[in-house]
């Protein structure tokens, strides 16, 4: 079975970025009405998991052994890709600027490139290094980190930990599926992750507050469950399922670079739905991010064209970016095999 072309994976990754980016614009009204971040993320994860549950059950019918084989992958997605990363991110923004925290977290693609560089002891191709620099420059312009807050070592450490969690999300998503459907991985990760977040809230380590009142959205008052449903269905269920699917096709490195478009999408949604201003430099940053992705994708496509023989299956070890234990060197690419925030 041949792996789907990169163009298909790229389109699915665009869908993931577009839907993931909706979360901020629709969660912000909940937070402003009195919801705590952990409560909002918990409801988001559980709603998304419940929406995906019938599709996951249909996808795994008769293949429960695949679920059992993938139990550690599901658990890793739940604890790190869903719960851990989001808790660390929200803990970070309680101490440092949101723009600074998200900038640090979305350095995850660079972390993946560096990890492969160190592990394989092979310098990435110039096109990858150029793409990394261009993408980070674009990310800085889009986020425009604030410099009006004092240095907070704990907040920065939490943001760095969230960056590691974001990288691990892509690592887990790009692992060989071994028969586990992407929708099942997303569903299991969201449900277990949501329950883990609820447990964190119950311990009192982070505030857990819910306000079942109307919220302000699009210039009018709407019931609290409207943004919850939008975030749960689109920014969580569809977003996680499509992101995992795209990562299995593209690999962790290219998918993580494409994931930078989530920041661009979030900025556009905030402009359209919340009236937050969009500056020319932010538009330039979005163009630079696209340019960086194009550089990284060009290297990926070049490998596919120059390597002899048919492409391996999406989950085959040869498609991973981290070198296998064989003596044949593998070019640096994705990572080792996502909250997401």
135-144 pLDDT per residue, tens: 778 777 776 6
Q: Among 153-157, 222-226, 297-301, name the one with the lowest average pLDDT.
A: 297-301
Taking residues 24-33, report their average pLDDT.
Answer: 81
The whole-angstrom distance between residue 40's C-alpha and the CA centroid of its chain comes to 17
Pick from 36-40, 94-98, 307-311 the range whose average pLDDT is largest: 36-40
Q: Is residue 138 part of a domain?
A: yes
Mean pLDDT score, 80-93 = 80
For the residues 239-247, what does the mean pLDDT come to?
A: 90
138 or 60, which is more confident? 60
pTM metric for this prediction: 0.72
What is the number of domains present in the chain? 1
316 part of a folded domain: no
Query: Does the structure show a pLDDT above 80 at 56?
Result: yes
Question: 37 with 218: CB under 8 angstroms?
Answer: no
Query: Over the stretch 93-120, which tens digit does the pLDDT of each residue have?
Result: 667 766 667 777 777 877 888 887 888 7
For residue 324, with 0-12 CB atoms within 10 Å meaning exposed, 13-18 middle and 19 or more buried, which class applies? exposed
**How large is the average pLDDT for residues 296-323?**
46
First to last CA, the chain: 34
The residue whose two tokens read 């560096």 is: 114
Which residues have C-beta within 8 Å of that of residue 53, sequence separation ≥ 6?
Answer: 187, 191
Determine the pLDDT at residue 22: 82
239 part of a folded domain: yes
Of residues 274 and 38, which shows the higher confidence score?
A: 38
- Residue 50 pLDDT: 96
Is the pLDDT confidence value at 54 over 60?
yes
Identify whether 330 is part of a domain: no
Domain that holds residue 141: 6-210+221-306
Closest by CA position to 293, among listed 2, 4, 9, 5 = 9
pLDDT at 210 over 70: yes
Residue 238 pLDDT: 94
Provide the strand spans (E) within the chain. 215-217, 220-222
Q: Across residues 204-226, what is the average pLDDT? A: 87
pLDDT at 290 over 80: no
Residue 202 is assigned to a structural domain of this protein? yes
Residue 250 has pLDDT above 80, yes or no: yes
Structure tokens at 109: 């693609």
Q: Please identify which residue in the block is written with the tokens 């380590």.
A: 205
pLDDT attached to residue 137: 83
- Does residue 106 lie in a domain region? yes
338, pLDDT greater than 50:
no
The Cα diameter of the chain in Å comes to 63
Examine residue 328 and state whether it is found in any structural domain, yes or no: no
Residue carrying structure tokens 């060989």:
176
In a domain, 317, yes or no: no
What's the rounded Cα separation, in Å, for the pair 298 and 182?
26
Report, in this order, helix, strand and coil percent for the chain, each rounded to 5: 70, 0, 30
Q: Which two tokens stand for residue 260?
A: 């930078």
Averaged pLDDT score across all residues of the chain: 77
């Amino acid at each position: 079975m041949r792996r789907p072309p990169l163009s298909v994976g790229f389109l699915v990754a665009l869908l993931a970025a577009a839907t993931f980016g909706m979360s901020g614009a629709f969660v912000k009204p909940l937070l402003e009405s009195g919801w705590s971040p952990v409560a909002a993320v918990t409801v988001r994860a559980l709603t998304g998991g419940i929406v995906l549950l019938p599709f996951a059950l249909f996808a795994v019918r008769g293949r429960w052994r695949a679920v059992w084989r993938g139990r550690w992958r599901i658990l890793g997605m739940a604890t790190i890709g869903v719960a851990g990363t989001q808790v660390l991110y929200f803990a970070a923004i309680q101490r440092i600027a949101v723009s600074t925290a998200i900038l640090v977290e979305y350095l995850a693609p660079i972390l993946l490139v560096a990890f492969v560089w160190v592990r394989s002891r092979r310098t990435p191709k110039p096109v990858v290094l150029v793409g990394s620099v261009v993408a980070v420059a674009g990310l800085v312009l889009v986020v425009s980190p604030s410099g009006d807050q004092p240095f907070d070592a704990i907040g920065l450490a939490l943001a760095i930990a969230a960056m590691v969690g974001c990288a691990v999300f892509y690592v887990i998503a790009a692992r060989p599926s071994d028969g586990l459907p992407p929708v099942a991985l997303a569903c299991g990760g969201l449900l277990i992750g949501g329950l883990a977040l609820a447990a964190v809230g119950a311990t009192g380590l982070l505030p857990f507050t819910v306000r079942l009142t109307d919220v302000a959205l699009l210039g009018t008052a709407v019931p609290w469950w409207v943004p919850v449903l939008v975030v749960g269905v689109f920014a969580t269920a569809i977003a996680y399922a499509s992101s995992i699917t795209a990562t299995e096709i593209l690999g962790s490195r290219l998918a993580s670079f494409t994931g930078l478009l989530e920041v661009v999408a979030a900025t556009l949604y905030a402009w359209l739905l919340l009236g937050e201003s969009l500056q020319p430099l932010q538009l330039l940053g979005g163009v630079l991010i696209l340019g960086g992705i194009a550089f990284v994708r060009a290297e990926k496509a070049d490998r596919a064209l120059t390597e002899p023989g048919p492409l391996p299956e999406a989950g085959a070890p040869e498609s991973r970016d981290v070198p296998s234990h064989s003596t044949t060197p593998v070019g640096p690419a994705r990572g080792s095999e996502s909250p997401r925030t």
